[in-house]
Structure 1
Amino acid sequence: MDWFPGATAVSALRVYGWPAADGRRGGSPHLHTASAEGYVVTAGTGALETLSGDGYAEHPLAPGTVLWFTPGTVHRLVTDGDLELLVVMQNAGLPEAGDAVLTFPPEVLADPAAYAAAASLAPPAEIEAGPQSGADLDLAARRRRDLALEGYLRLREDVLARGPAALAPLHQAAAALVRERAPGWAGLWRERALAQAERTGEQLRELAAGRAGHLAEAAVHHAVPTPPPRRHGMCGHLQTWDFTGGSGAPRN
């Protein structure tokens, strides 16, 4: 097994505490186009706001809360100040490859170049590139969050007024943005999630025949934590691990 079980990814998230336009504190609203996402709350309290086939909902979060949601669910994490959780992400590699789409205003979503610029934490092209400080990254992540929130708040009002059908333009815009990347995602899926499922099928066939050869391959794998500082994710500061595998001891 060269990936975390089920070809999932696990990260530790400390939700952004910056105040937003509506007075709440939290991360950037977004959706995933092909991956489900799960949360296990480890500390603090807050809420998850969602826009889905059920319309608008708010889900309280506290230590011990476990929830998950499917592709297309717009989600926004908000914190009372100290919310931390483990994120379990389906299809490891896809979110990093662009599976997530932020809820920027429609005019930004309709322009791939404008979307890419708004989603990036890199300095604008007119500013000479150089090493970014933590304060620089905080400012860039906050600007990105605020633009995503602008689109989200408009979308939420539309969903409250018209129901889940109001999500259709966002879903179509998201599909258009990721269309060119999707063929590459199929390769990641085959070599990770599908390969693990097929391996389980092979093992079940072996067991049904009374053979135990695969059990001789038993091994322990370690993940290598990324060094500090935590990186800036969409919803907060992330601690990630390298889940590329390794038997016995962590790989360098």
Structure 2
Amino acid sequence: MSGATGFAGLPGAVGVSHLSVYDWEAADGFCGGTPHLHLTCSEGYVVTGGRGAVQTLTADGFASTPLEPGALVWFTPGTIHRLVNEDGLRIVVLMQNSGLPEAGDAVLTLPPALLADPETYARAVRIPDGPEAEQAAAARRRRDLAIEGFGRLREASARGDHEPLRAFHRAAAALVRPKVDGWRARWEAGAAEAARQTGVQLDRLAAGDASHLGQARVRAELPSRTGVFGMCGRLSTYALTGDAHT
């Protein structure tokens, strides 16, 4: 049995960030972030301040879940979600499969013409390097495009027409398909490895072997980046890794 402790990231290979949700007003009168979905990662919110809601759209239809301090909300891949900021909404975001969201496991609900191919999509969602005002303008522009597409999907769903949502799912899958091999490598080194380690530890304990307890370690991190323009708001992120160690 290997003596390596393997994955050393957060428990379960979870990603974490601090989020201050945008207070920009959209055409429909709501303030907040950019509607999108994740292809392989569940997402969770722990609300730490302010108030708002998360609007969601799935095959079951549209819903709006209130968010207030202390609330814990999570949803599975394929859930289109949009954060609404009613009063200084701040959240700790938990992401499954740390490394995959950072590698592009999200597609915004842009109008269909902007989902036609990876190059067109990339141009529409890119946040440029440069002055903060230019970054903010780009983030707001793509937010508004995504809300336009989200509104069409929501209206179709309310009519009982689910084909636009299915078409968006197909387009999203086609956009990320070139990335899947890279995602698999990240998952194997991260979440899959973290789960494998638990199996190894259970085997050791069943055999009366407590040697892995002698390899205990403690880690502490501060955010490595702050004020990043994310899809839903300004982010503070951590440079957490799951690098193997012995």
TM-score class, shorter: over 0.9
User: 1:236 and 1:203 mapped to 2: Cα distance?
Assistant: 39
2:12 aligns with 6
1:244 aligns with 241
**Superposed CA offset, 1:139-188 (max 9, x none):** 11100100111101111101111165542111000000001100110000
Q: Is residue 52 of structure 1 aligned with residue 58 of structure 2?
A: yes
Q: CA shift at 1:245, angstroms?
A: 6.5
Return the match for 2:159 from 161, 164, 171: 161
Any conservation in 1 of the 2:13–2:242 contact (CA below 8 Å)?
Answer: no
Return the match for 1:88 from 85, 89, 94: 94
Using the size of structure 2 for normalisation, the TM-score is: 0.93
1:192 aligns with 190
2:119 aligns with 113
Q: CA shift at 1:52, angstroms?
A: 1.1
> In the alignment, residue 242 of structure 1 is paired with which amino acid?
A
Count the aligned residue pairs: 237
User: 1:174 and 1:245 mapped to 2: Cα distance?
Assistant: 27
> In the alignment, residue 237 of structure 2 is paired with which amino acid?
T
**Superposed CA offset, 1:98-129 (max 9, x none):** 1100000011112322211001012xxxxxxx
Q: CA shift at 1:227, angstroms?
A: 4.2
Q: CA RMSD in A?
A: 1.4
Any conservation in 2 of the 1:51–1:57 contact (CA below 8 Å)?
Answer: yes
2:223 aligns with 225
Return the match for 1:144 from 135, 142, 149: 142
Any conservation in 1 of the 2:37–2:81 contact (CA below 8 Å)?
Answer: yes
Q: Which runs of 4+ in 1 moved over 4 A?
A: 163-166
Any conservation in 2 of the 1:223–1:245 contact (CA below 8 Å)?
Answer: no
User: 1:44 and 1:175 mapped to 2: Cα distance?
Assistant: 34
User: 1:75 and 1:37 mapped to 2: Cα distance?
Assistant: 10
2:40 aligns with 34
Return the match for 2:232 from 210, 227, 235: 235
**Superposed CA offset, 1:213-240 (max 9, x none):** 0000111012241244x10000000011
**Superposed CA offset, 1:3-62 (max 9, x none):** 111111000000000000001000000000111100000001000000013211000000
Identity %, equivalent residues: 52
Q: CA shift at 1:81, angstroms?
A: 2.9
> In the alignment, residue 101 of structure 1 is paired with which amino acid?
V
Which structure's relative contact order is higher, taking Cα pairs within 8 Å and 6+ residues apart? 2
